[in-house]
Amino acid sequence: MDIIVCVKWAPDTSEADVVIDKEGRDIKKDDLDYDINDWDRFAIEEAVQIKEKVGGKVTLVSVAPEDAEEMLREGLARGADEAFNLWDDSFEGSDGYAVASILTAFIKTRPFDLVLTGTQADDDCAGQLGGMLAAMLDVPGVTLAHKISIQNGRVEVIRELEGGLSESLEMDLPAVISVATGLNEPRFVSIRAVRKVAGMEIPVVDREGVGIDESKVGGRGSRTRVEKVFLPPEGEGAEIIQGSAEEAAARLAEILKEKGGIA
């Protein structure tokens, strides 16, 4: 079975002071650390587990600058067999649609039975890639998968719904599946595994190598344009109510009346 996993190189803002750039359409990323999108770790692990059960090959692919090689090498250490980095200066500024177009053009040149992605990315939370890939590749697609079973050329997926519900679906292969976090437990990456893949080649494939027209990538190929990025307005802060229980209760009632919470 040929499995392709699409991974994203995402900025880590969890412990950083987020600053809007001068154009107001993005955040400053120069000083941010980048890492593999957390949702995609589960996609890699699931691909490797499927390979271990039914055989085959796992290929990682990312649309990211050459600095993303470290991320792809981590994926190789997790059990993937090969990795490709798709990058060209013309890819800069690509939105989700353009990225899906780039990935589709590359995937169509390779044999594939299953394409796995994370359901969404840590940075933009758009959750669009899996659905667009399925449409562009003209194959079945499903999102938020938390169990995947492969049998007799078909795939059974249990996916999450709202309200704690789940549903079971069955699809013919090839297919695109976007996985949920918690689908599995990503394995620990040992030093031995890292050393084993240290010398593996990770080709960087440019636009011509991908085989996509310049009009379909970057800003020209994008269907959306960010108009403004902004931080939420700061609130007035908290009021600490002091005094006796009776005084605190009276002040609390006063505040609720002012805010319209009670009549």
Residue 261 lies inside a defined structural domain of this protein: no
CATH of the domain at 175: 3.40.50.620
Determine contact, residues 117/130, Cβ cutoff 8 Å. Answer: yes
pLDDT score for 150 = 93
Residue 24 lies inside a defined structural domain of this protein: yes
Residue 7 lies inside a defined structural domain of this protein: yes
Phi, psi of 260 (to 5 degrees): 80, 15
Residue with the larger pLDDT of the pair 242 and 237: 242
CA distance 202 to 219: 27
Beta pairing partners, 176: 115, 141
12 band by pLDDT with thresholds 50, 70 and 90: confident
Residue 205 lies inside a defined structural domain of this protein: yes
261 band by pLDDT with thresholds 50, 70 and 90: confident
Residue 240 lies inside a defined structural domain of this protein: no
**Confidence check: pLDDT of 151 > 90:** no
Residue 67 lies inside a defined structural domain of this protein: yes
Rounded to an integer, the average pLDDT of 39-63 is: 95
CA distance 117 to 86: 16
Write down the pTM of the prediction: 0.85
CA distance 108 to 128: 19
Domain of 84? 2-221
Q: How many domains does the chain have?
A: 1
